[in-house]
Chains A and B, each alone.
Chain A
Amino acid sequence: MAEITDETLDRVARVARLSLTPAEKKALHNDLEAILKTFSEIQQIQVADEELYYVVDKVNPLREDTAPTYCDPDKHKCSEKDGIMDNIPEKEGRLVKVPRGL
């Protein structure tokens, strides 16, 4: 169970969006196997079929179904929105610039 093939690790790294170097991949491969081997002790514990939900039992909190109020930058300063825009690495005007997806 704790053996991870190179092919699987490549797939995991791709899903995790981490382009690992070969040296990094080798070190992490060893770590992953060692950690999962130790942690496989959870397989031996007798458990019921039911899995955990949430630690906190509660109803799903829902907000009122109303139209959200957007702040209009022409009328007043919206500091939180400006703060969010300031953190965007690449933008054009008020648009986020991203490379092609395909």
Chain B
Amino acid sequence: MDLIQKVKAQLKLIERTNPVLNAFITTDAEGALRQAEIVQDKIDKGKAGAFAGTTLAVKDNICMKGLRCTASSKVLENYIAPYNATVIEKLYKQDAVFLGKTNMDEFAAGGGGVSGYFGPVKNPLDLTRVPGGSSSGSGAAVAAGLCDMALGSDTGGSIRAPAAFMGICGLRPTYGTVSRYGISDLSMSMDQISPAAKKAADCRTLLTKINGYDEKDPVSVHELPDKREFEGIRFGLCKEFLDERIDPKIVDMIMKTAKVFEDVGELVEISVPTAKYSVPIYYLTVFSEFASAMQKFDGLKYGFSKKGDDMFEKISSTRVEAMGSEVKRRVLLGTYITMKEFRDSWYVRTLKVRKKLISDFNTAFKKVDVLLGPTMPFVAWVYGKEITDPVANYMADILTAPQTPAGLPAGSVPCGTDNGMPVGLQVTGPRFSDMLILDCMEHVQKNVSYDVKLDPQLERLMR
């Protein structure tokens, strides 16, 4: 099948499944087919780039020129991106074809995949369950086979949670190695554009095509992930990732899976004490940075806009009407903890604890090469049984929050099922160890049998 036929077939699958799955906010059939024709011509002439023949879905917080970029918020419902994010430019140069923009939690501020303005995404393995978020649509599109690979973003687990809940691979790269230019930011010191695919090997291919220094991103680094031999590795079983807060069945499965690493190294028990406090460290950082990032949405320059007699009234009524409840909650918290009188005891305190967390990780990485643990403390929950208490909701991130304030890379790979729902093994490494993490993920995919089926209702739609 040539690329044009393939793109047509995938677009058809998206059209058929979207009323149920809700993975896409915008599809770009015209742009995808136009690009497919150009790329097919290059393939025929033997001049095609490394991504020729590959189709991608892109999370809707990443700008693609001429397409709507909503971040799944009423705030940006009609915003048309006037430029491409750096990652999109890079992939166009490699002849990738983009099928559309995927659904997500509003402004990536959520972990369930249920808080977007365009409605919740369903889990393709069981439509009654949540997909995990915030890159829920990107994860669902990959898991359902609607595209070959996808781009998401990960701030506190937003690529890893959907990967774990839907049984695919997702890698959060080392902070600074993939340009954030063109992403609608949630937390500028932690956001990282991230690849997702069924195979870890494909995540690697995608990563190597999007990473690299970018002068448009002020925290972009020149270094690239190191490559090392995959043997003699010390695998840390991290105490804080395997404690009583996690479903014991999941802990058992991780311990069993960890044994596959014994033929390439040794398993070592280890502790990262401050990791226990990573949910408050992570969220207090997010609140502060998110409140700042949201200031640009004033209804004057772009996005949703209400009338008002004066500037204050116009901006305040625009924001209160367009922002969802979790967004407002975070904006208020961030405003509060950075105000002059509360700043020292909250924001500055968080920065100090954050430094301690980094130092704890550095100590651990002197003794081990990577840390192993689960990605999520439980499997994807059933819709209607979601946690409505915001504090309890934040605690779902106990395993994916620790890495990000330290700028560390981490990946999730499926390693088994519990009641038919996937369980993800998470590999965390020091900065620039992305390739080693991907080696570990590939090792699991080679040595651990894992099989899931799509929800029968979805499968019928795809026939």
Contact = CB atoms under 8 A, between A and B. Distances in A.
Interface of A: 1, 4, 8-9, 11-20, 24, 28, 31-32, 34-36, 38-39, 41-43, 45-52, 54-56, 58, 61, 63, 79-84, 86-90, 96, 98-102
B445 interface: no
Contacts of B299: 89
Contact of A51 (B284, B331, B352): B352
B213 to A, nearest CB: 10
B82 A55 contact: no
The SS class assigned to the B binding surface is helix
B102 to A, nearest CB: 21
Given A28-B332, A83-B80, A100-B311, 10 more contacts: A12-B339, A18-B319, A34-B389, A34-B391, A35-B390, A36-B337, A46-B356, A54-B189, A61-B215, A79-B82
B83 A83 contact: yes
Interface of B: 65-66, 79-83, 175-176, 189-190, 215, 218-219, 221, 274, 277, 279-281, 283-284, 291, 295, 298-303, 305, 308-317, 319-320, 323, 328-329, 331-333, 335-337, 339, 345-346, 348-356, 358, 389-391, 394, 405-407
A51 B348 contact: yes
Given A13-B332, A18-B323, A18-B328, A99 B353 contact: no
B277 A47 contact: no
11 contacts: A12-B339, A18-B316, A19-B320, A45-B356, A47-B355, A50-B352, A80-B83, A83-B80, A89-B300, A96-B300, A100-B310
A43 B320 contact: no
A45 B319 CA distance: 36
B356 A48 contact: yes
Contact of A58 (B221, B333, B348): B221
A15 B215 CA distance: 33
